[in-house]
A and B are shown apart, each in its own frame.
Chain A
Amino acid sequence: MILAMAKVRILGPRDRLPDVLRSLQGLGVLHLTPPTPAAPVIHAELSPQQERERRHLLSAIEDVDGALAELSPFLPAPARPGPPPSVTTSDFARWARLASRVRRATDRLKARATQIEEERALILKYQGFFSAFRPLLENEARWKNATIYHVLLKHGELDAIPRLRSSLASVIGDAFEFYSRELPGGETALLVVVSAVAAGRVERLLAEARVQEIPVPEAYGGRSLAEAIPRMLARLGDLPQEADGIRRERQELARLHGAELRRAETAIAHRLQALNALPLSGVTPHAFVLEGWVPADARRRLTERLHTDVGESVVVTEMSREEWQSEDAPVVLRNPRLLRPFEAVIALLPLPRYGTIDPTPFVAVFFPVFFGLILGDIGYGLVLAAMGLIIHRRSKPGTVLRSVSEIIGPCALFSIIAGFLFGEFFGDLGHRWFGLKPLAFDRGEAMVPFLLLAVAIGAVHIVVGLILGVVSAARDHPRQAVGRGAAAVAVVLIVLVLLAAVDVLPKAFFTPAAIGLLIAFPVLIFAEGIVAPIEFLSTLGNILSYARIMALGIASVMLAVVANRMVGMLGSAVVGVMFALLFHLVNFAIGMFSPTIHALRLHYVEFFGKFYSPGGVRYEPFGAWTRNAGVTRS
């Protein structure tokens, strides 16, 4: 559900504003908004000194974040943020100096590490080249008065060789030697030896041919590659030690300053939050006004805290419902513990607007059902449950991974239940091994009943969506609510007519349901206009879209059956079992991905389309800084 919010106005003497802001930040429940414009009230502004402090703190926190990002591999996981330390101006100045110093050091180490990595890559490239032409290069003294060119062709540039050879022949005749070798990485190394007098022309030719020439690097001395390579190899041996030295220096920086930088980060970000909050206050020469949102159940706590911290001179009033628009209210989703993981599914979309419906409870029921009906296998369900347990054990509370593991749980449970209904254990293995029989029907055989089940579930889901649409639109858009209600009734009546027509329901249902339909359609057109029939057809299309549950489910069971048949088909039992396991693995991977995507789609497109109103404002209370919340920099 969406938590009820109250909009409050806080009034008091202007000189108590800093105390009030401090108290509000300590409590951390008020989502501040700019005060309603009124004649004598102007927006408070930061004093020049505060503006300067803010600028310095922003620069300092950039250094702190930069340094911590580089040192984080050597730091323990950040602890849950506690109350910010009490600090003085000199602490901020000290932290700014420390952060700047550590940032410079980490930047220097980072640049050095990059340089080492690049040097290593370069040497390895030369090493490959040298290995390819070793016998030739070791005897390059035999080429007197010659210039040697080393060229590297990328993978797929082999056609450049004949072109280069014929260009050389046309420019300098046959006064050159040309060698090519393929390198292990797929590149091709070329060694071109030409007479020194023709060097200028050849260099121009190589430049025009746009091939990558590798000159002998001056840093390693020597005029030939044969002389430079031993020095390069010696250097290659030194590089790991240098990289290790850099790692040790980083580790030492983290040990010496990591904890202090974390304290600095918390305190600076906390102070920045306070400075950013000040311009959200309205002031007159003698008074201040603050406005914001609190969860309705926290309003009394807010008043008591302000009276305790600041005294009775501060007045907190709740603004009446006429003074605010529901779309301005921030949104907090609050659901029972079991349903809460499914808020992650809603989090992928923009938040619902305040005053509309939180779809989390419905997603928590229907998502695992759809997933289970598609996967529908006891074996796969058990593997999925084991996977969910492992992820749960390895994830931290409050993380996306933890939510995923908690969503996997019900999905696995429904897969197992559906597996019993369809009599599937790794496809038909359950039936072949221990005579497992379907409690409902065999998906592989009874395709039409499965299709009817999928469409029936779709009809229920869409009707629930339309009813939620009625509830959602009832207050602000009554005509739209009537339209959605008529559409829901029409869907139910069509189902009744069809069931009566095929003798599932008594024939007596047919005529009243058909008459009901004839009444519902004009109501629909009256409520939603001339586009209503098209909208209604699209609603029926939405219901048919649930046929994907059946289609994907059958694909899943067929792949599992094919995997089991592999054992007998490939001659060798061992090879057959290997292939079967591989096929089951692929099917399981598809079986996790595909139901998720399609269950999400059925919710986002078909279900939410009937009632969901996105555009809610995120609730961001002014309070203690947390790593996830970040700090507003602008």
Chain B
Amino acid sequence: MEGQTVVLALAAAAAIAIPALATAWAQSRIGPAIAASMAEKPELSTTAILMIAIPETMVILGFVIAVLILFRGGGAA
């Protein structure tokens, strides 16, 4: 039972850690590009917000999966 809890915890951690790294990588590429675009065209600010917020979907869904693993798997219940 303890082994199962450890596996569940590791799975939940991976479910959030991997998308978090992916989000960070995506935002690190988008951020400078959109900042450079905004320097030339300030009217792109709305697009900038969207571009920065879009990769966050990955980590948010990762978080949801992590919660489901912990709760449905009985790890945190």
| A605 x B60 contact (CB < 8 A) | no
| Chain B residues near A448 (CB-CB < 8 A) | 67-68, 71
The CA of A451 and the CA of B61, in the complex, are separated in Å by 11
From B45, B61, B71, A447 is in contact (CB under 8 Å) with B71
Nearest neighbor of B63 in chain A, beta-carbon distance:
A551
Nearest neighbor of A446 in chain B, beta-carbon distance:
B71
Nearest neighbor of A542 in chain B, beta-carbon distance:
B57
| B57 x A548 contact (CB < 8 A) | yes
| A597 x B49 contact (CB < 8 A) | yes
- In chain B between 23 and 77, which residues have their CB closer than 8 angstroms to a CB of chain A? 45-46, 49-50, 52-54, 56-57, 60-61, 63-64, 67-68, 71
| A545 x B57 contact (CB < 8 A) | yes
Given A447-B67, A447-B71, A451-B67, do A551 and B60 touch, yes or no (CB 8 Å)? yes
Nearest neighbor of B59 in chain A, beta-carbon distance:
A551
| Chain A residues near B67 (CB-CB < 8 A) | 447-448, 451
Interface residues on A, range: 10 to 19
> Is A601 among interface residues, defined by CB-CB distance under 8 A?
yes
Given A448-B71, A604-B46, do A597 and B64 touch, yes or no (CB 8 Å)? no
| B54 x A605 contact (CB < 8 A) | yes
The CA of A547 and the CA of B46, in the complex, are separated in Å by 22
| A604 x B71 contact (CB < 8 A) | no
> Is A283 among interface residues, defined by CB-CB distance under 8 A?
no
Binary interface encoding of chain A residues 22-61 relative to chain B, with 1 for a CB under 8 A from any of its CBs, else 0: 0000000000000000000000000000000000000000
> Is A389 among interface residues, defined by CB-CB distance under 8 A?
no
| B50 x A544 contact (CB < 8 A) | no
Given A447-B71, A448-B67, A451-B64, do A548 and B56 touch, yes or no (CB 8 Å)? yes
The CA of A5 and the CA of B19, in the complex, are separated in Å by 49
| A550 x B64 contact (CB < 8 A) | yes
Given A349-B46, A447-B71, A448-B71, do A598 and B64 touch, yes or no (CB 8 Å)? no
Minimum CB–CB distance from B46 to chain A (whole Å) comes to 4
Nearest neighbor of A450 in chain B, beta-carbon distance:
B67
Given A447-B71, A448-B71, A545-B57, do A551 and B50 touch, yes or no (CB 8 Å)? no
| Chain B residues near A349 (CB-CB < 8 A) | 46
- In chain A between 440 and 484, which residues have their CB closer than 8 angstroms to a CB of chain B? 447-448, 451
| Chain A residues near B56 (CB-CB < 8 A) | 548, 598
> Is A348 among interface residues, defined by CB-CB distance under 8 A?
yes
| Chain A residues near B60 (CB-CB < 8 A) | 545, 547-548, 551-552
Minimum CB–CB distance from B6 to chain A (whole Å) comes to 21
Nearest neighbor of A545 in chain B, beta-carbon distance:
B57
Minimum CB–CB distance from B45 to chain A (whole Å) comes to 8
Interface centre among B57, B61, B71 (most CB of A within 10 A): B57
| Chain A residues near B57 (CB-CB < 8 A) | 545, 548
- In chain A between 178 and 204, which residues have their CB closer than 8 angstroms to a CB of chain B? none
Minimum CB–CB distance from B60 to chain A (whole Å) comes to 4
> Is A600 among interface residues, defined by CB-CB distance under 8 A?
yes
| A600 x B71 contact (CB < 8 A) | no
Given A451-B64, A544-B61, A547-B60, do A597 and B71 touch, yes or no (CB 8 Å)? no
| A547 x B49 contact (CB < 8 A) | no
| Chain A residues near B46 (CB-CB < 8 A) | 348-349, 604
| B50 x A605 contact (CB < 8 A) | yes
| Chain B residues near A550 (CB-CB < 8 A) | 64
| Chain A residues near B49 (CB-CB < 8 A) | 597, 600-601
The CA of A548 and the CA of B54, in the complex, are separated in Å by 11
Minimum CB–CB distance from A494 to chain B (whole Å) comes to 18
| Chain A residues near B45 (CB-CB < 8 A) | 348
The CA of A605 and the CA of B46, in the complex, are separated in Å by 11
From B53, B64, B71, A547 is in contact (CB under 8 Å) with B64
| A601 x B64 contact (CB < 8 A) | no
| Chain B residues near A348 (CB-CB < 8 A) | 45-46
| Chain B residues near A547 (CB-CB < 8 A) | 60-61, 64
| A604 x B50 contact (CB < 8 A) | yes
Binary interface encoding of chain A residues 353-382 relative to chain B, with 1 for a CB under 8 A from any of its CBs, else 0: 000000000000000000000000000000
| Chain A residues near B53 (CB-CB < 8 A) | 597-598, 600-601
Minimum CB–CB distance from A550 to chain B (whole Å) comes to 7
| Chain B residues near A597 (CB-CB < 8 A) | 49, 52-53
Binary interface encoding of chain A residues 506-533 relative to chain B, with 1 for a CB under 8 A from any of its CBs, else 0: 0000000000000000000000000000
Given A447-B71, A451-B67, do A601 and B54 touch, yes or no (CB 8 Å)? yes
Minimum CB–CB distance from B16 to chain A (whole Å) comes to 10
The CA of A545 and the CA of B56, in the complex, are separated in Å by 10
Interface centre among A348, A551, A597, A605 (most CB of B within 10 A): A551
Minimum CB–CB distance from A143 to chain B (whole Å) comes to 50
The CA of A447 and the CA of B57, in the complex, are separated in Å by 18
Minimum CB–CB distance from B43 to chain A (whole Å) comes to 10
| Chain A residues near B71 (CB-CB < 8 A) | 447-448
Minimum CB–CB distance from B66 to chain A (whole Å) comes to 10
Minimum CB–CB distance from B47 to chain A (whole Å) comes to 9
| A601 x B61 contact (CB < 8 A) | no
| Chain B residues near A447 (CB-CB < 8 A) | 67, 71
The CA of A551 and the CA of B68, in the complex, are separated in Å by 12
The CA of A601 and the CA of B53, in the complex, are separated in Å by 7
Minimum CB–CB distance from B19 to chain A (whole Å) comes to 11
| B64 x A551 contact (CB < 8 A) | yes
Interface of A with B (CB < 8 Å)?
A: 348-349, 447-448, 451, 544-545, 547-548, 550-552, 597-598, 600-601, 604-605
Which 4 interchain pairs have the tightest Cβ spacing? A348-B46, A601-B53, A548-B60, A547-B64
Interface of B with A (CB < 8 Å)?
A: 45-46, 49-50, 52-54, 56-57, 60-61, 63-64, 67-68, 71
29 contacts between A and B (CB under 8 A): A348-B46, A349-B46, A447-B67, A447-B71, A448-B67, A448-B71, A451-B67, A451-B68, A544-B64, A545-B57, A545-B61, A547-B60, A547-B64, A548-B56, A548-B57, A550-B64, A551-B60, A597-B52, A597-B53, A598-B53, A598-B56, A600-B49, A600-B50, A600-B53, A601-B49, A601-B50, A601-B54, A604-B50, A605-B50
Q: Given A551-B63, A605-B50, list of 8 further CB < 8 A pairs?
A: A349-B46, A448-B67, A547-B60, A548-B56, A548-B57, A551-B64, A601-B53, A601-B54
